[in-house]
Amino acid sequence: MANWVPLWLHRLSSPPVFYRFAGAVRPWALGLALLLGGVALYGGLFIAPADYQQGDAYRIIFIHVPSAWMSLFIYGVMAVAAFIGLVWRIKLAETVAMESAPVGAAFTLITLVTGSLWGKPMWGTWWTWDARLTSELVLLFIYLGIVGLYHSFEDRRQGARAASFLVLVGAVNVPIVHFSVNWWNTLHQGSTVRLLGPSHIDASMLWPLLTMMAATKLYYVASLFARVRADFIVAESGKGWVRDLALNTPGNDAA
């Protein structure tokens, strides 16, 4: 069994190597994300039929649902990266965890905003203390806390480690919040509102949704890689490879 995979991963975790790798991957990811996003939007806004009950208003799910998935998916990626960064002290993992947080916060905010835009015509209110809405809001606060903690330290790596720890605390907390909020809501009053169940959905509406999901994933990769590149440049500004990059020394093929 060839052990090139771990060797390649090990090499990749070095900042200059990852900088070049991310620079090569990023335009492709961004281009594919825009392409798939455009296709999904066209499919969702023009091809998919209107809902028999909600009319055209349901079409916001093509933004809302993929964003909601991403807000949880990015937290998962962040938690894994934070764990790896804390245990093995790999700089790449710490940076990935820290630079994922603003992207995740953005997706969470998009989820909340589109949800409330949809809620106004459907439920007649911008905001309701539904269990899922509340959990999503708490998730946004966790993201913001992580970003704030990371930036409150003088030393970046120390800040990254402290914030990574907060990521893990939050990972334990998110299920507890979701469970307790569910309990809270059922205690006081039966909620009359339910979000759209993705399982009862027609194929003509499903494919734009799945395409948009792929587009948001690719956009996350592109955005994350750009952020990690910028972070590496700042963190390693005293190192030789950044100096070569800045002075554009010949023989350096970094993009």
Partner 1 sequence: MTPGSTPAACAALLRRDLTLAWRRRGDIAMPVLYAVIVATLFPFALGPEPALLARIAGGVVLVTVVLAILLSLDNLFRGDIEDGSMELLMLAPQPLALLVGVKILAHWIVSSLPLIVVAPLLASMLKLPAPAMPVLVATLALATPLLCLLGAILVALTAGSRRSGMLLALMLLPLCVPVVIFAAGAVAAAQDGLPWVAPVAWLGAGLVLALVLAPLACAAALRIAMDS
x/- contact string, 174-213, with partner 1 (CB under 8 A)?
A: --xx-xxx-xx--xx-------------------------
Q: Is 166 in the site for partner 1 (CB under 8 A)?
A: yes
For 19, half-sphere exposure in the C-beta direction (CA atoms, 13 angstrom radius) is 19
Q: Is 87 in the site for partner 1 (CB under 8 A)?
A: no
Distance CA 221, CA 103 (A): 10
> Of all helices (H) and strands (E), which one includes residue 126?
none
CA dihedral 8, 14, 20, 23 (to 10 degrees): 100
Amino acid (one-letter) located at 121? P
Q: How far is the CB of 114 from partner 1 (least distance, A)?
A: 22
- Using an 8 Å Cβ cutoff, are 126 and 116 in contact? yes
Binder among 31, 55, 121, 148 for partner 1 (CB under 8 A): 148
Cα-atom radius of gyration of the chain, to the nearest Å? 21
Q: Is 61 in the site for partner 1 (CB under 8 A)?
A: no
Considering CB under 8 A, how many residues would be counted as binding partner 1? 30
Q: Is 16 in the site for partner 1 (CB under 8 A)?
A: no
> Between 203-235 and 61-88, two packed helices, what is the crossing angle to 10 degrees?
40
Q: Is 145 in the site for partner 1 (CB under 8 A)?
A: yes
Kindly indicate which of the ranges 13-21, 87-95, 140-148, 203-211 contains the residues binding partner 1, using the contact rule CB under 8 A: 140-148
* For partner 1, the closer CB: 175 or 240: 175
> What's the count of helices (H) and strands (E) in the chain, helices before strands?
8, 0
Q: Is 155 in the site for partner 1 (CB under 8 A)?
A: yes
Distance CA 13, CA 158 (A): 19
Kindly indicate which of the ranges 107-115, 147-155, 199-207, 237-245 contains the residues binding partner 1, using the contact rule CB under 8 A: 147-155
Q: How far is the CB of 100 from partner 1 (least distance, A)?
A: 17
Q: Is 152 in the site for partner 1 (CB under 8 A)?
A: yes
Kindly indicate which of the ranges 56-64, 148-156, 210-218, 233-241 contains the residues binding partner 1, using the contact rule CB under 8 A: 148-156
- Using an 8 Å Cβ cutoff, are 103 and 33 in contact? no
Handedness of CA 245, 251, 252, 255 (dihedral sign): positive
**Residues near partner 1, by CB under 8 A:** 138-139, 141-142, 144-145, 148-149, 152-155, 158-159, 161-162, 165-166, 169-170, 173, 176-177, 179-181, 183-184, 187-188
